Amino acid sequence: MCPASAPPQKTVGRHRLTLATKVTILRLLGIPVFVLLMIYYEISLRQEAPVPAYRWAAFGCFLAIALTDALDGFLARLYNEVTWLGRVLDPLADKILLLAGIILFTRPGLTALQPQFPIWFTVLVISRDIILVAGAYLIDYFTGAVHVHPRMTGKMATALQMLAVGWAIANFSHKVFSALVLLAGLFTLGSFLQYLGDGWHQFDSERSEEAPPSVSEK
């Protein structure tokens, strides 16, 4: 008797709001709250009357958004439902949260805010994302399709960035924070180079297939 196989994952309608997608939307709605709390905290620092409650509330908000990242994926697998909207919004929520956190903690003019991300790290993260998005658009424009293959370095870069941002908000050990930033920077650069290579290989392959056959010599 053959063992029962797991039911195939199905993709539901493009515009259907599943439970997993609703969780992702809640994560997106939580990001402005996190940003607002951090801005109020930084204003209190500028006024030389810091209000730690703002920072800890921002940490709680960040933690809730970050932890529910696994929840929406779990719900999608549990109910065997995948939506086009969910595929777009889930990584978008992660990216917006990370960029907001990194930018909020890159404030050279606000020395009272510690720890801070070095400027090189912030430039690396933002430049990587802009170049990869622009590259994907160009590949899609010239070849008609973009095939993204997730890399372990990319997943590690995201995880380390998330951990570094949370560490900065909680104001834990600054030495550990510096090590996290260095590791996150190395994985961010490594994933950037890998994705660039993947994109160039796809672009070159697609263009080679579209090229007309050469005329053989008589």
Residue 3 lies inside a defined structural domain of this protein? no
Do 91 and 160 sit in the same domain of this protein? no
Predicted confidence at residue 77, as pLDDT, reads: 73
Nearest C-alpha neighbor of 136 from the set 102, 188, 183, 88: 88
Cis peptide before 150 (omega within 30 of 0): no
Do 89 and 31 sit in the same domain of this protein? yes
CB 138 within 8 A of CB 157: no
Angle at 186 between CA 185 and CA 187, to 5 degrees: 95
Predicted confidence at residue 6, as pLDDT, reads: 46
Do 95 and 117 sit in the same domain of this protein? no
Predicted confidence at residue 37, as pLDDT, reads: 98
Residue 168 lies inside a defined structural domain of this protein? yes
Structural domain harbouring 48: 11-104
Predicted confidence at residue 14, as pLDDT, reads: 53
Which one-letter DSSP state was computed for residue 47? T
All residues at 6 or more sequence positions from 134 whose CB lies less than 8 Å from its CB, including other chains: none
Do 98 and 120 sit in the same domain of this protein? no
**pLDDT, averaged in runs of 10, over the chain (218 residues):** 47 66 90 98 96 97 90 75 78 93 96 97 96 84 75 93 97 97 97 87 68 50
Tokens encoding 142: 């010239």
Q: How many structural domains compose the chain?
A: 2
Residue 218 lies inside a defined structural domain of this protein? no
Predicted confidence at residue 211, as pLDDT, reads: 54
Do 54 and 79 sit in the same domain of this protein? yes
Which of 76, 104, 132 is at the close of a domain? Answer: 104
Residue 2 lies inside a defined structural domain of this protein? no
Nearest C-alpha neighbor of 171 from the set 28, 50, 32: 50
Residue 216 lies inside a defined structural domain of this protein? no
* Alpha-carbon span 5 to 8, nearest angstrom: 9
Cα distances (Å, whole numbers) of residue 67 to 94, 100, 158, 166: 11, 17, 13, 11
